[in-house]
Homo-oligomer: A and B are copies of this chain.
Amino acid sequence: MKKSIGAKTLVYPTPVFVVGTYDKDGKPNVMTAAWGGICCSKPPCVAVSLRKPRYSYENIIKRKAFTINIAPEKYLKESDYFGIASGRNKDKFAASGLTPVKSGVVDAPYIKEFPFALECNVLHTIEIGVHIQFIGEIVDIQADEEMLNDQGVPDIEKVKPILFAPEMQAYYGVGRFLGKAFSIGKDI
């Protein structure tokens, strides 16, 4: 039996995106965001929403670029910290011990130790409400070689991305393989 539970920002799963930017002085910053996802296949685009007071918001407005670093289980603490602290008064790279790498194609840094990063230029900026949505065109992806499968794609079982459960305020890992997409439903 269904019950009305009100207008919550709740979907499962939600990603844990660590957004990489440079500030006006060229200092690299990272912040964690869960409001986002792929939004177009051609051009390949990813969306991520930030509140205006966030330091990374200013950075993206000025630099018109960002990276999306996929947070792995191994760096759960760091990924959570990146969502708590502000780059306005903290050097989050220094505090976490992680390493910023300058992207060769966009004006933003990615995290050396994370499994892969999308390098994006801002294509659209949409004022929705308290969140502003940035739609970034994915120019390239930098991925750890040892995580690639036979098709040259980062293997989700090696990447071990973190999932976020909003409202529950909890992180989960990826579970077991369930089936092949565009295949398992063919016999209906």
Contact = CB atoms under 8 A, between A and B. Distances in A.
B45 A128 contact: yes
Task: Give the copy number.
Answer: 2
Interface stretch (A19-27, A56-64, A178-186): A178-186
Given A37-B47, A38-B9, A141-B5, A180 B169 contact: yes
Interface centre among A13, A80, A154, A155 (most CB of B within 10 A): A13
Contact of A168 (B45, B144, B156): B156
Contacts of A34: 38
Contacts of A100: none
B2 A112 contact: yes
A-B pairs with lowest CB-CB distance, top 6? A80-B185, A81-B185, A37-B37, A173-B175, A175-B175, A12-B161
